[in-house]
């Protein structure tokens, strides 16, 4: 069976530092640089990476909010990369997005009910009569009081707002939802509630998720598959069970060691601290992009860019010296 969403070799370069004189860009940010991945129906793909590695850009590409420079997006067997007009309009029902910032992603002048009803109004999926009913159903589904229909975003807490955003993304009954750091802006205690809600929704409604986060601990429970991104590229990807048990890429290992895990005595890993900043994506390091912070870097890392290679257990890793356990 072919996957629900399959993307191949996505590239998005942003022009930066436009020179006033020549009206020509002086540099390029390679925000997403050759990303390929796939998501099965009803499953969750976690995407993890530090700030600025291109996660949000990828999310916007997947939801067709920005056009990609090259590569292809295939949803449900249909190539939607270049789709426009009525065709795109129809596809939008199937793929929805949840944003990171619950304060910015809800129109402050619209009531909760109106916010959730908007997708249905634009797509004309329900009649005016059923609209209020459906909105209340959705409010209830995400654990909000349907009586709060007429309340405005500022009358809700951050977690409640994120629930409104989730209800809105569910309004069109999508097949897949891209959640761009849906819990990063929330309190730790509320993060768990929202994660549970998303898990419950996935179980009950069978929606696939692309779940973006900046650390591995958040996606640990929810993801069936994880992809680790560094400077616009995927450096390691595979089933989360295998990756969490046995990371081979130094960057994944470093991220992993930052994950607090309750383990006893001898099994405790030594904590790897990443030194230095993420290099500028305008001028990424030659060869392996991680080499400036990698403690295993050799000469070859500078000269040759490692490809994503099958590690032998169904996962892929982009490193010249992967640590594959026997």
Ordered DSSP codes for 135-186: HHHHHHHTT--GGGGG--GGGS-HHHHHHHHHHHHHTT--SEEEEESTTTTS
Q: How many residues bind ligand SF4 (CB under 6 A)?
A: 12
- Give the pairing of strands 225-230 and 233-239: antiparallel
Contact between 175 and ligand SF4 by CB under 6 A: the answer reads no
* Range 203-218 burial, b when 16+ CB lie within 10 A, else e: eeeebbbbbbbbbbeb
CB of 278 to ligand ATP, least distance (A): 9
Spell out the alpha helix ranges (H) of the chain.
55-62, 85-91, 112-123, 128-141, 158-170, 188-205, 216-220, 240-245, 250-257, 299-303
Among 44, 56, 202, 240, binds Mg ion (CB under 5 A): 56
257-286: contacts with ligand ATP (CB under 6 A)? 281
Backbone angles phi, psi at 132, to 5 degrees: -60, -40
In the Cβ-directed half-sphere of 254, how many Cα atoms lie within 13 Å? 19
Each residue 38-67 as x (binds ligand ATP by CB under 6 A) or -, in order, gives -----------x-xxxxxxx----------
29 belongs to the binding site for ligand ATP (CB under 6 A): yes
Task: Please choose which of ligand SF4, Mg ion, ligand ATP, none residue 31 contacts, taking the beta carbon within 5 to 8 angstroms, the exact cut-off set by kind.
Answer: ligand ATP
* Least Å from the CB of residue 277 to ligand SF4: 16
We find the least distance from the C-beta atom of residue 317 to ligand SF4, in angstroms, to be: 9
Of residues 56 and 81, the one with the C-beta less far from Mg ion: 56
Instruction: Output the CA–CA distances (angstroms, integers) from residue 258 to 191, 231, 253, 269, in the order listed.
Output: 18, 19, 9, 10
> Which one, of 74, 124, 68, lies nearest residue 95 by Cα?
74
Beta bridge partners of 5: 39, 75
Does residue 214 belong to the site contacting ligand SF4 (CB under 6 A)? no
Minimum distance, C-beta of residue 286 to Mg ion, in the bound complex (Å): 26
Residues 153, 105: contact at Cβ < 8 Å? no
CB of 67 to ligand ATP, least distance (A): 12
Query: How many Cβ atoms from other residues are within 10 Å of residue 85's Cβ?
Result: 7
Residue 54 interacting partner from other proteins, ligand SF4, ligand ATP, none (CB closer than 5 to 8 Å by kind)? ligand ATP
Which one-letter DSSP state was computed for residue 12?
E
Contact region with ligand SF4 (CB under 6 A), list: 35-43, 70-78, 148-156, 315-323: 315-323
- Contacts with other proteins by CB under 8 A lie at 60, 63-65, 88-89, 92, 96-97, 99-101, 104-111, 113-114, 117-119, 122-123, 131-132, 135-136, 140-147, 149-152, 154-155, 165, 168, 172, 193, 196-197, 200, 203-204
Q: Which is nearer to ligand ATP, 2 or 51 (CB)?
A: 51
Q: Where on the chain is the footprint of ligand ATP (CB under 6 A)?
A: 14, 16, 29, 31, 49, 51-57, 214, 281
């Amino acid at each position: 069976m072919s996957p629900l969403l399959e993307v191949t070799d996505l590239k998005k370069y942003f022009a930066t530092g436009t020179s006033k004189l020549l009206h020509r860009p002086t540099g390029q940010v390679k925000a997403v640089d050759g990303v390929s991945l796939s998501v099965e129906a009803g499953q969750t793909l976690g995407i993890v990476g530090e700030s600025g590695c291109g996660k949000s850009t990828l999310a916007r590409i997947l939801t067709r909010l920005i056009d990609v420079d090259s590569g292809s997006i295939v949803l449900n067997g249909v190539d939607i990369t270049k789709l426009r007009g009525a065709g795109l309009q129809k596809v939008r029902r199937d793929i929805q997005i949840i944003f990171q910032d619950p304060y910015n992603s809800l129109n402050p002048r619209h009531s909760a009910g109106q916010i959730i009803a908007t997708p249905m109004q634009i797509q004309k999926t329900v009649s005016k009569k059923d609209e209020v009913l459906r909105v209340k159903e959705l409010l209830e589904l995400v654990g909000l009081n349907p009586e709060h229909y007429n309340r405005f975003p500022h009358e809700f807490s951050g977690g409640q707002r994120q629930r409104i955003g989730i209800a809105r993304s569910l309004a069109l009954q999508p097949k897949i939802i891209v959640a761009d750091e849906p819990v990063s802006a929330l309190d730790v205690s509320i993060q768990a509630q929202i994660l549970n809600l998303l898990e419950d929704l996935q179980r009950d409604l069978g929606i696939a998720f692309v779940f973006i986060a900046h650390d591995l601990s958040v996606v640990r429970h929810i993801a069936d598959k994880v992809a680790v991104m560094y400077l616009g590229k995927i450096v390691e990807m595979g089933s989360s069970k295998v990756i969490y048990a046995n990371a081979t890429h130094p960057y994944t290992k470093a991220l992993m060691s930052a994950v607090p895990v309750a383990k006893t005595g001898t099994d405790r890993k030594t904590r790897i601290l990443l030194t230095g900043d993420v290099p500028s994506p305008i001028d990424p390091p030659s060869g392996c992009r991680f080499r400036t912070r990698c403690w295993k870097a050799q000469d070859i890392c500078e000269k040759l860019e490692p490809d994503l290679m099958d590690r032998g257990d169904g996962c892929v890793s982009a490193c010249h010296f992967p640590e594959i356990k026997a």
